[in-house]
Structure 1
Amino acid sequence: MIWKISMHEISMVFLGLSAIYCGVSAILKLSSGLADVIEWEMMSLNSSYIVFTLVLDWVSLLFLCFVCLISSSVLYYSGSYMVGDKTLSRFMYIVLAFVLSMSMMVLSPNLISILLGWDGLGLVSYALVIYYQNEKSANAGMLTVLSNRVGDVAILLSIGLMSSLGGWNFLVYSHYMDDEWLSFKFLLVLAAMTKSAQIPFSAWLPAAMAAPTPVSALVHSSTLVTAGVYLMIRFSPALMSSSVQSMLLVISCMTMFMAGLGANYEYDLKKIIALSTLSQLGMMLSILALGYPDLAFFHLLSHALFKALLFMCAGVVIHSVSGYQDIRCMGSLVKFMPLSLSFMTIANLALCGFPFLAGFYSKDMILEVAFMSWINFIAFVLYVMATGLTVMYTIRLIFYSLSGGFNLESLNNVSDEDSIMTSSMVFLGLGAIFGGAALSWFMFPEPYMICMSGFMKSLVLLISFAGGGIGYIVTAVNAVYSLKSLNNYSFVVMAGSMWFMPFLSSFKNSEFSFVWGEALQKVGDKGWYEYFGGQGVYYLFSKMFMVSDSLQMNSVKVFMKMFVISVVIILFVHM
């Protein structure tokens, strides 16, 4: 008897067992308070040892557990979602390389060896974004990889600055970085901003939706976009600088507000969920800027569960409605896909922070700690508005796609019949329900002391209800009077296009390049750069070497010339 096991099943079993092993190891490491560090010395350079390091503590193992758990569900889900693809094996291998790169990045506490995972994520994400091989995918992939190269350059410059410490292990040296390391801290924040798509590098995140939906579920939950947040959590002891924290707080709060506002004007189902990811990344970095890395890590893990579930449910919907992604072409899907849309509703409610779901425990604690902290009024208002906007675009998404009128074509066969895609969402659905409570018991055995007034305590609930009510009223009015938005066309375009960042990121500056580039080439590349650059230095060194060579040959003519010149100079000085 021959057993025929497909690749998505093998990958699911292997990654599922890896998730169980990492989860049990994380529990043991946290209970014992110990960590294992493995180092391989590669070479020595100027008394600095370049080593390949792996750290196995409860933080890295717990995060790796979530990466493997979500990856196993996504790969099993891909076995049905990508079944018509002729290069399914290639897709599976690229996704496994993506998971391996993320694992290298999570386990490495060394700034040099972390480049294996950091650059691997950028390279493999480019391969996944251009997977469908059309012009839109090519443009999105180029925008993604060029935006992430800025962060890669920042990491390389950080390695050069950190070499003065004699090592690159940031778990050891980050505790000793004072205000003199301000430029190093800014470079790390820049690297995290590019990877986690903060302003002004936010344009690549919705553009990366050109990748297949299983890739989006993996990227937006526990891999690529969370790499910057994870790096900042690991470097959090070095971030205790007022200027760096203030800059990170302002940028992350603006990103959180911008993404929430843009999602309320977006009609692409995947881009709405992508903008919600961007909003939650801003929340993680904002609470990290306030000095609470444990809360940022808590929200990172709980967000990974329901965001992967949300993307997988969106993939089932897109798969069932013949590839449509416009939510206006859906409607009344809950009557035809009750199981998938039940999971989607659970994920949406967890995103809004509905009580006792996964997002509630982390999001509510983050908002309460932020309201209790010493933040300025602008940051407070942005927190409040971003929370309300999250509920608004969630209600809007539910109104257009799950409920409302039936807007599909008459011959569409919409159902929950695909058992592989629906069964792969069960574990993540349970995680979206019980994951937040389990993580809070696991990570915070001692409760936080939160002291605030009754109004401030109930403010999060009031914002959520107000956002939901306003979102329902505005969406219902807009569904009936769809042309009302043309009265404020400029604002709608600005808010719906992420404050024009996609246009600025891909700005066609051909005229500027041709006109000014020619002048710069004449003055620079063929002008002063030649005189003071490589050609000029070559000419100068050639003359110096000729003189040095003549002196070493002990030529009598040279010494006589030098003697005559010296005598003339002495006589001229004494005259």
Structure 2
Amino acid sequence: MLFNYSLCLILFIYLFVVSLILFFLGIYFSMNDLIMFIEYEFFMSNSVQLVMTLLFDWISLMFMGFVMFISSMIIYYSMEYMKGDMYLDRFIILVLMFIVSMVFMIISPNLISILLGWDGLGLVSYCLVIYYQNVKSFNAGMITALSNRVGDSMLLMSIAWVFNYGSWNYFMYIDYFMSSMDMKFISLLIVIAAMTKSAQIPFSPWLPAAMAAPTPVSSLVHSSTLVTAGVYLLIRFNPLYNNSLLSSFLLFISVITMFMSGFCANFEFDLKKIIALSTLSQLGLMISVLSFGYVYLAFFHLLTHALFKALLFMCSGVIIHSFKDCQDIRYFGNLFFQMPLTCVCLIISSLCLCGFPFLSGFYSKDIILEMYSFDYLNIFMYFMFYFSTGLTVSYSVRLIYYLMVKDFSFYSYHSFEDNSFDMLVGMFVLLFVAIFGGCMLSWLIFPTPHYMMIPLPMKLMVIFVCLTGGWVGYLMNSFGLMNFFKFNLINYFFGNMWFMPFITISMSFFPMKMGYSTLSYFDYGWLEMFGGQGIYYMLSYMSIYNQKIQNIFFNMFFIMVSMWFIFFMFI
């Protein structure tokens, strides 16, 4: 066990120092407007180059710094959370492989190297989701892997299509071939790949299902790595879909995803799934901002969201750990007097999620909502966007109510306290960054203030929607209004994400069943008989028959030689 903890400490210190170096390098590159591009050519055939390329600009360096920083805190947090695990080394190595895959994808402007990091994320995430080896984890891992394989196949098809242009580096052809039909098809493939990794409708069910992984993994996956890979891909490929039909398609899908996840979170009772649905809502927010072409604004919200969402998952992990791995929020209650430090961290991270003034989430969400009021948008999308924002506040207030206001409903002889020092240290470091990180990043990413003049009702719309959402969320739960839906089909419908998990399983079941039948009847059947195995058996039989004939001829020859030898001996 001593080796496990020393490994964790070494990785924590190393990742923390590297994160600071990368963050300050990102600030330096941003202030001096620098871009570093490293390219190594492996070989060239028919004017098609296979090269390894690395792109270092302020976006990639700053994002890598955030990934390393959150990963260092999570590894330090895992020292106590995974204390009883016999295979802590294996867990830490898997997390490290996950971080390396994400970093490899961040610094790659080449579609092939992006695919390596992209596929590495999918493979390692499958290994981490099935880390607790039970039926639920295996099913969740299979849904996660199959959903992500759709995005992998889209990237493979885009790589094959880009082969026509002689290079897989996306920046070489984006500006020159935007009007061609090939580029429109490639952009569609890239958008679908990003939708699968960021779990937009209809690929949403794998995100809550991936909560079967350990909580430190959930904290890393849902803050800065796996689910943000699709958003980061759309940030890099923004010219492909900007101001086109694809941007309208992305806007519609992302806003519907925001609405669905926010609504379903108000009917969910699993603590980790509520936070996972909030991640899904924020991913829809980022992609909707990207559909308008505000790349830096989406990247700003991506960074601020990573800080408070990692903290939120860490707080939930401490609570689940204290409640003997119980995740049902109906058993919780009145925790503020027993675990005050954890509850303070959870309340502040929830307020960041709601966009409470002068916390990190406020600086990104407020400007996003004002830009929506400032920009041209139809009334349906405008209403859905603000309504989804109100739902975010509603389920956050509901979560705080169930954890801290409601009566304690667990076993009466249980008592809890904040005695986990290592977990609290990681949480308080992230708490400090979650409070002050938003204003710092706003100064770095937007050094020049932008003046937006909108009517007073639109300006006050943000505060009105947030206050209304919080008030409705409190009323619905404090007066038991949710009990009206308890035994109703409505609760079952919204609590199961509009039956999307069942549809996803059905959609994947029939093609897999058809593939199994085809495999049985053809590859294991007639094709096998007349194909590889048939030829093998025929050649084996012919070789055995040939051997027998040769043995007969050899024996006959031996007998004849013997007879001739005897005949000449007697003569």
Q: Same fold, TM exceeding 0.5?
A: yes
Q: 1:221 to 1:510 in 2, by over 3 A?
A: closer
Contact 1:290–1:370, Cα closer than 8 Å, also in 2: no
**CA distance in structure 1 between the partners assigned to 2:304 and 2:86 by the alignment:** 35
Aligned partner of 1:62: which letter? Answer: M
After alignment, is 159-168 or 459-468 more displaced? 159-168
Q: Is the alpha carbon distance of 1:177 and 1:461 closer, same or farther for their aligned partners in structure 2, counting shifts above 3 Å?
A: farther
Alignment partner, residue 458 of structure 2: 456
Q: Which residue of 2 aligns with 1:485?
A: 485
* Percent identity over paired residues: 50
CA gap of 1:320–1:217, structure 2 versus 1, over 3 A, is same
Question: Partners of 1:110 and 1:42 in 2: how far apart?
Answer: 13
Cα contact 1:176–1:238 (8 A) shared by 2:
no
Q: How does 1:82-231 map to 2 (within 5 A)?
A: 82-180=82-180, 181-231=183-233
Task: Report which stretch shifted further, 85-94 or 423-432.
Answer: 423-432
- In the TM superposition, what is the alpha-carbon distance from 1:412 to its structure 2 partner? 2.1
Which amino acid is 1:416 matched to?
Answer: D
CA distance in structure 2 between the partners assigned to 1:17 and 1:514 by the alignment:
50
Query: 2: distance between equivalents of 1:483 and 1:240?
Result: 45
Corresponding residue for residue 45 of structure 1: 45
* Distance change in 2, residues 1:237/1:482 (3 Å): closer
**Letter of the 2:11 counterpart:** S
Q: How many Å separate the matches in 1 of 2:246 and 2:7?
A: 46
SS of 2:502's partner is helix
Aligned to 1:339: 341
1:165/1:241 Cα in 2 relative to 1: closer, same or farther (>3 Å)? farther
Residue aligned with 2:418, SS: coil
1:566 corresponds to which residue? none
Distance 1:67 1:406, change over 3 A: same
- Which one of 291, 294, 314 corresponds to residue 292 of structure 1? 294
**Mapping 1:5-44, distance limit 5 Å:** 6-44=6-44
Output aligned runs, 1:362-401, within 5 Å: 362-401=364-403
Q: Distance in 2 between matches of 1:235 and 1:516?
A: 34
Shift of the alpha carbon at 1:496? 1.5
Distance 1:15 1:510, change over 3 A: closer
CA displacement, residues 205-229 of structure 1 (integer Å, 9 cap, x when unaligned): 0000000000000000000000000
Q: Which residue of 2 aligns with 1:567?
A: none
| Correspondence list, 1:279-318, <5 A | 279-318=281-320
Match of 1:555 in 2: none
Q: Kindly indicate whether residue 467 of structure 2 is the aligned counterpart of residue 465 of structure 1.
A: yes
Deviation at 1:45, TM superposition (A): 3.0
Following the alignment from structure 1 to structure 2, what is the Cα–Cα distance between the partners of residues 153 and 503? 23
In the alignment, is residue 348 of structure 1 matched against residue 350 of structure 2?
Answer: yes
Distance 1:519 1:160 in 2: 26
Using a 3 Å threshold, how does the CA distance of structure 1 residues 515 and 191 change in structure 2: closer, same or farther? closer
2:323 corresponds to which of 318, 321, 324: 321
Structure 1 counterpart of 2:391, which letter?
L
Task: Give 1:244's match in structure 2, choosing from 222, 243, 246.
Answer: 246
Aligned to 1:58: 58
Q: Mean Cα displacement is larger for which, 509-518 or 97-106?
A: 509-518
Pair 1:6–1:491, CA change in 2 (3 A): same
Alpha-carbon distance in structure 2 between the residues aligned to 1:327 and 1:187: 40
Contact kept in structure 2, 1:264 and 1:396, CA below 8 Å: yes
Structure 1 residues 526, 263: closer, same or farther in 2, change over 3 A? same
Structure 2 counterpart of 1:73: 73
Deviates more, 1:113-122 or 1:194-203: 113-122
SS at the partner of 1:472?
helix
What is the alpha-carbon root mean square deviation over aligned residues?
Answer: 2.5
Distance, in Å, in 1 between the alignment partners of 2:285 and 2:38 is: 33
Q: Deviations for 1:332-371, whole angstroms, at most 9, x for unmatched residues?
A: 1111111111011010000000000000000111111112
Q: d(CA) in 1 for partners of 2:3 and 2:135?
A: 41
Cα pair distance change 1:81/1:513, threshold 3 Å: closer
Kept after mapping to 2: 8 A contact 1:252/1:283? yes
Residue 451 of structure 1, CA deviation: 2.1
> Are residues 16 and 414 of structure 1, via their aligned partners in 2, closer, same or farther at CA, if it must alter by over 3 Å?
same
Q: Say if 2:261 and 2:277, in contact at 8 Å, map to a contact too.
A: yes
Query: SS where residue 44 of structure 2 aligns?
Result: strand
After TM superposition, give the deviation of residue 484 of structure 1 in Å.
1.5
CA distance in 1, matches of 2:318, 2:512: 45
2: distance between equivalents of 1:225 and 1:241? Answer: 25
Structure 1 pair 508–179 and aligned structure 2 pair: CA distance change class (3 A): closer
CA distance in 2, matches of 1:68, 1:86: 25
The structure-2 alpha-carbon separation of the partners of 1:350 and 1:510, relative to structure 1 and needing over 3 Å to count, comes to closer
Asked whether the equivalents of residues 4 and 88 of structure 2 are also in contact (C-alpha less than 8 Å), the reply is no
1:54 maps to amino acid: L
Post-superposition offset of 1:138: 0.4
Q: Does the 8 A contact of 1:67 with 1:223 survive in 2?
A: yes
Cα distance, 1:490 vs structure 2: 2.1
Distance in 1 (CA, whole Å) between partners of 2:179 and 2:143 is 34
Work out whether residues 184 and 240 of structure 2, in 8 Å CA contact, stay in contact via their aligned partners in 1. no
* Structure 1 residues 197 and 339, CA gap change in structure 2 (3 angstroms): same
Report deviation, 1:175: 2.5
Partner of 1:229: helix, strand, or coil? helix
Number of residues paired by the alignment?
527
- Contact residue 174 and residue 239 of structure 2 kept, 8 A: yes
